[in-house]
Structure 1
Amino acid sequence: MSDLFDKFQPLIDQREALLSSGVTDPFNLVMEKVESPTVAICNGRRTILLGTYNYMGMTFDPDVVEAGQQALADYGSGTTGSRVLNGTYAGHKACEEALRDFYAMDHAMVFSTGYQANLGIISTIAGKDDYIILDIDSHASIYDGCALGNAQIVPFRHNDVEALEKRLKRLPPEAGKLVVLEGVYSMLGDIAPLKEMVAVSKAAGAMVLVDEAHSMGFIGEHGRGVAEEQGVIDDIDFIIGTFSKSVGTVGGFCVSNHPKFEILRLVCRPYVFTASLPPSVVATAATSIRKLMHGSNKRAHLWENSKRLHGGLRQLGFTLGTEEPQSAIIAVIMPDLEKGAAMWEALLNEGVYVNLARPPATPAGMTLLRCSLCAEHSSEQVEEILGKFERAGRASGCLDTH
């Protein structure tokens, strides 16, 4: 008789083989104590955090922490209800107002996670007779949003403007069309050519949604993302983002200037049928977002960190996901999963935590170590990281020992 877990057997076997070689489980690390945005205690050792998406280092900001503590005292631990029932507190409205101000847009809708923001908006605005044209390297939450809404999925080659244009031209002119792009792609840390892509999408009569999860707060003059940086933010219909990266807490959102946007609060199932965020969370988010509006010095330092780490790793002989640093993510390409896991563990032993990413999460079936820098990493920490990468590379056989 078949077991519903049989389909996972190849992955179970691969994981068991990896762990039987004595490697620490890379997907089950426990942070015993977190001391700051850049340092934690892991396995009893001081560890530099280089895999947390905490791009602007807001998790320990005193104003952010104080706002959360005050809201917890004033409003309790949770709302126990959906936003359309009893789950809208003053803090939820204040958080949406902060987002509207941050993006200078008319509408903002807060979700309980970034995943739910994509799941909810995409599945609600594109239904079974509509077409979603998306980059093949899109995040899982985007694909799941397509599946939930039962739209026709039309994927195109990663960051290929010509391929996008060809796909759009083949679709019925009268059909509803949504082009879904990301500002920064989270595995390799590369950015989308949004300027060209938005132009061809609009020429084909499509609406455009851009997920700026990994660029909000950091990229663009005001930290509004790649769309701002490339001068096309006014041509985009929906921007999706998350609170779990630069904002430093948890939650997701969509901002838009569409005049009918507010109806989504009644028809978007992942919004209507989920409990709203706890008051302490929306208070920390709103405070963080307002501080990010004045984060230009932090943004400048984060760019310095990214350029130094990227240049230093290339100099050591590592293969990276991009020729030049394009974001706060730097991907170090590994030959295979075994070598990747060995390098990951060697780095952990040196006192650096990074993300080990493997198929199917990664593009083209590659194994990589993903580094995400923080504006709170000091220049000295970046140099320390480079020294640890060199030693771990030699210890794991990923770098030439001569």
Structure 2
Amino acid sequence: MTEAVSQPDQPQTVEGGDMTGDRDLFSKFDPLIKMRSDLLSTGVTDPFGLVMERVISPTVAMCNGRETILLGTYNYMGMTFDPDVIAAGKQALDDFGAGTTGSRVLNGTYAGHKAVEEALCDFYGMKHAMVFSTGYQANLGIISTIAGKGDYIVLDIDSHASIWDGCKMGDAEVVPFKHNDIEAMEKRLKRIPEGAGKLVVLEGVYSMLGDIAPLKEMIAVAKKYGAMVLVDEAHSMGFIGPNGRGVAEEQGCLDDVDFVIGTFSKSVGTVGGFCVSNHPKFEIMRLVCRPYVFTASLPPSVVATATTSIRKLMTASEKRAHLWDSSRTLHKGLTDAGFQLGTTEPQSAIISVIMPDLERGAMMWEALLREGLYVNLARPPATPANMTLLRCSLCAEHSAEQVQQIIGMFTRAGEAVGILG
């Protein structure tokens, strides 16, 4: 009996057909490739390829050789250049080196990792905290681990990609409902078989439009049907609530939340993600949550900066008040100028300006960059209702003068590209 040897000049086959006739694996991206190509063919600068040559402060950077106001960084509390935060990171780099080279369940837990989890417990007033290498991993890991095959996840249709990916990875039945619609959420919960595991996933602030969820009412409904509740407070931590704990604290329902997800890459000013909880069995997650078990832990310098930042955010009431003032001023200024915004009133540090279409949105983005202002261009299919948005995220370090400058820049750019008038 002889072994079959494939001939190099013959096409290889797989079960189901000839590989040479198979669809290109990149074909699914063709519509997006065309959208990007069509956009760049108009001559606009690539809005997704901006390079910051130097970052001067939380609110200013050098972009394309000119000083530019930053209004699209999610650096809500401006902690990236805080002297104490930077000093803590430098000291940890000297004391512990550049990285851990291991996961948290092996050699990747240093004193700093325990310290940042203790800071999170103190910040939220909860018993347990787990830190992940990114906020995306926090949602991916927690959701996929606690809700699996046979369980049901009821979630807002506008949920973040990391939430949807966590649902997919866990293999639970996914039941979406219309954005911020309490009645629609209850209808979905009613249909779930009795005795099934149920998880309701909500966000405090939705990052595209900057609107908040009616958490108090939604959590009450979830508990009525015996569901556990996870709230992603990535875009509200540090800023919203008397102590900066987020929308759940602001609405007086934090004690009813089973899991709070957050990130260090927004108000904390560094990188990483976390989950805090009071569930008595929560610590077992360290052994069963795959994105936690099989990922290298954050570098010591990163957790040191996060710990220092979190503890400073506990006493940042003046910064929170200033950020609210800036949000109200910018929202009113842009509304008065004639722009259509994503919310009728300021609800967070995110203010989204709705554009007529992607082409004019990109033109407006480029015009603002020429004015010396950087914002985010958010495009379909990532946006609600296929809208094109210019997404602004204010920082507590933006001065009142800068906010007025921003309003003037938007007005001039809007008139130049025909969005206004």
Rounded to whole Å, the distance in 1 between the matches of 2:134 and 2:418 is 39
Which of these residues, 22, 29, 33, is aligned with residue 8 of structure 1? 29
Rounded to whole Å, the distance in 1 between the matches of 2:171 and 2:416 is 49
| Aligned position for 1:174 | 195
What code does the residue aligned with 1:141 have? S
| Aligned position for 1:100 | 121
Matches within 5 A, 1:1-400: 1=21, 2-400=23-421
Q: TM-score, normalised by structure 2?
A: 0.95
Partner-residue secondary structure (3-state), 1:4: coil
| Aligned position for 2:8 | none
Partner-residue secondary structure (3-state), 1:190: coil
What code does the residue aligned with 2:265 have? S
Partner-residue secondary structure (3-state), 1:331: strand
Deviation at 1:17, TM superposition (A): 1.3
Rounded to whole Å, the distance in 2 between the matches of 1:296 and 1:230 is 17
Deviation at 1:302, TM superposition (A): 0.1
What code does the residue aligned with 2:189 have? L
Rounded to whole Å, the distance in 2 between the matches of 1:142 and 1:94 is 27
- Structure 1 segments unaligned to the other structure (5+ residues): none
Deviation at 1:16, TM superposition (A): 1.1
Deviation at 1:133, TM superposition (A): 0.1
What code does the residue aligned with 2:376 have? N
Deviation at 1:21, TM superposition (A): 1.2
Give per-residue Cα distances to partners, 1:281-330, cap 9 Å, x unaligned.
00000000000000000000000000000000000000000000000000
Rounded to whole Å, the distance in 2 between the matches of 1:274 and 1:172 is 35
- Structure 2 segments unaligned to the other structure (5+ residues): 1-20
What code does the residue aligned with 2:234 have? A
Partner-residue secondary structure (3-state), 2:353: strand
Deviation at 1:397, TM superposition (A): 1.1
Q: TM-score, normalised by structure 1?
A: 0.99
Partner-residue secondary structure (3-state), 2:33: helix
Rounded to whole Å, the distance in 1 between the matches of 2:194 and 2:207 is 32
Rounded to whole Å, the distance in 2 between the matches of 1:308 and 1:273 is 45
Give per-residue Cα distances to partners, 1:369-397, cap 9 Å, x unaligned.
00000000000000000110011101111
Rounded to whole Å, the distance in 1 between the matches of 2:32 and 2:240 is 37
Partner-residue secondary structure (3-state), 2:31: helix
Deviation at 1:173, TM superposition (A): 1.9
Partner-residue secondary structure (3-state), 1:35: strand
Number of corresponding residues: 400
Deviation at 1:20, TM superposition (A): 1.5
Rounded to whole Å, the distance in 1 between the matches of 2:37 and 2:208 is 25
Which has the greater radius of gyration?
2
What code does the residue aligned with 2:385 have? A
Deviation at 1:3, TM superposition (A): 1.0
Rounded to whole Å, the distance in 2 between the matches of 1:7 and 1:261 is 39
